[in-house]
Amino acid sequence: LLISRDGREIPIIDSGAPILTNDGEIIGVVLVFQDDTKRRASQQAIEESEKKYRNIFENIQDVYYEASMDGTILEISPSIEKVLGYKRKELIGKSLYDIYTNPEERDELLEAILESGKIANFEVHLTDKDGSQYSVELNSTLQRDQKGNTVKIIGSMRDISERKRLEAMLRQSQKMEAIGSLAGGIAHEFNNILGTIIGNTELAINDVPESNPARECLEEIQLASLRAKEIVRQLLGFARKSVFQLMPVQISSIVSETLNLIRASIPTTIEIRRNISCKSDTVMADSSQINLVLLNLCANAKNAMQEEGGVLEVNLENTTLDETSAARYEGLGPGNYLKLTVKDSGHGIDPKIIDRIFEPYFTTTSLAEGTGMGLAVVHGIVKNHNGAITVASEPGKGTVFEVLFPLTEAKMAQEAGEPEALPTGNEKILFVDDETSLVKMAKRMLEMQGYRVEAKSDPIEVLELVRSEPRRFDLVITDMTMPQMTGDKLAKEILNIRPGMPIILCSGYSENIDAEKARALGIRKYIEKPLNMSNFVASIRKVLDAGGSVA
């Protein structure tokens, strides 16, 4: 360093040579000083720049890479470890193409980048260190030398697996919403049809003596219609369009019925074994939800044995948990339980993913085979029933699901013995429904009980009738879904004309109304279709006898 006249330190580069006499004697030196300020500043700038970009390189979330044209990885940022599990040193010198899941994507990438010199947002699938697949997005440029020869590819890759998962969740949610809307429409139409079948069958049974062979046929029709009613309810349950109530239910009968149902859909190469050894099987449950649990678990087992066949075992037994054994099951305490076991001899579940199988939308199958919602639905149902579910599996040996439900001492509703006489009356009833067959059936049903019934199919006509004679009717019974005006709007209009008018609202299915919303509107009773004669006339009598109160 030299010190300038003003006191500044000036970095220099110096060089010198001796001054010699003819005899070689040193009589002095020649010194040359070069100001090194600019060079040192440039060097410092370069070092700071390298430090800056090294910091970016080592901490960037996306993955920076350089690869030769034959795929050899020349450089790659440490962030690759977060994406694929490899350390940087493990990949340097190895072929990038070896971690491509699909060779076809590698070929497409090379073709695209050679054609245009760069690619943007190019999606490929890579295999991580553990063998799992990840979706990544590539942005890369082809680098050439001064002669135009291709030298290497430089670019970045971004892990988009989470984004793809969220996109799949959104699509699945939209699909489920569409299925739910479809289920609601189907339920409404089916319930109207079933209402006509059930109602007219009940009327016919009343007209046919027990000694007549036709009586047994009518009772079979009635039983089949009630089963169809339950199927509609399950359809709404699958689409999450129905509110369920827990009540004492015997699980063994549900298991038997469900296994009989699925036998036709399971290949003959899969043997079904059932073992129902429980002495007590009554739990607080919704039968359609328990049915859905077993259907999903059996479908999961079927998929695991689809190719090579095997054995599907379904067991139902009692078990008692103490403090120690209860700790194995999330949320359960000591007590008496009913244990449902579904076991298959299929390919098993990879230990790396077994902790994720109850996650919504997680699936190892294609969309054609499953949506990833089955086991998530099962888990949710079991939790809503105050139960627990566990899974044990060994690759190549099969999978075992255990579901525990707490037993209850509550008694199931007893089937009625001799039917009681249906309540009667002589009040004037206005019945409104756009389904002509339901109108005819309900009119006859109510007239048999002594009521005076006027039946209409047009809600606008009904409104004019009430407006012209507000006190003409003692009760209005209206359907919910009708053209021109819905039942809840009709009820509001009628109550504006005659406050306190007793109204019963019936619905095959509607997203816009339920019992609570109906009560808030001042509607006395909300009844779900299809109508059951005994319950229907009992509800009518109760509403009429209640006077001014809202049921």
CATH of the domain at 485: 3.40.50.2300
Residue with tokens 């020649």: 30
Torsion of CA 419, 425, 431, 437, to 10 degrees: 40
Rounded distance between C-alpha atoms, residue 302 and residue 390, angstroms: 19
264/371 same-domain check: yes
Determine the Cα–Cα distance for residues 547 and 506; give it in Å rounded to an integer.
20
Low-confidence ranges of the chain (pLDDT < 50): 366-372, 415-418, 549-551
Residues 277 and 368 in one domain: yes
Q: What's the pLDDT at 455?
A: 92
Beta bridge partners of 342: 314, 401
Q: Residues 255, 373: one domain?
A: yes
In the block, tokens 């009692």 appear at 318
86 part of a folded domain: yes
Whether 512 is in a domain gets the answer yes
Is 438 found in the same domain as 332?
no
Q: What's the pLDDT at 7?
A: 82
Q: How far is CA 497 from the centre of its chain?
A: 45
Domain boundary among 389, 414, 439: 414
Among candidate residues 94, 128, 159, the one where a domain is terminated: 159
Structure tokens at 366: 């294609």
Q: For residue 518, is it within any domain? A: yes
**Does 229 fall in a domain?**
no
Same domain, 408 and 467: no
**Which strands form 150-159's sheet, in the order they lie side by side?**
73-76, 63-68, 150-159, 133-144, 118-127
Identify the domain boundary among 159, 175, 197.
Answer: 159
Q: Are both 409 and 266 inside the same structural domain? A: yes
Instruction: For residue 83, give Cα distances in angstroms to 56, 157, 161.
Output: 17, 10, 10
Asked if residue 390 and residue 255 are part of one domain, the reply reads yes
The reply to whether 224 falls in a domain is no
Residues 253 and 391 in one domain: yes
CATH of the domain at 390: 3.30.565.10
131 and 13 fall within a common domain: no
Q: What pLDDT score was predicted for residue 360?
A: 59
328/336 Cα distance (integer angstroms): 15
Same-domain pairing of 536 and 474? yes
pLDDT of residue 373: 53
Residue from 186, 229, 196 nearest 481 by CA: 186
Closest CA to 73 of 89, 90, 58, 95: 95
User: Whole-angstrom Cα distance, residue 72 to residue 47?
Assistant: 28
Q: Do the domain assignments include residue 167?
A: no
Range of the domain at 410: 245-414
Q: How many domains does the chain have?
A: 4
Does residue 451 share a domain with residue 383? no
Whether 450 is in a domain gets the answer: yes
Helix (H, G, I), strand (E, B) or coil at 295: helix
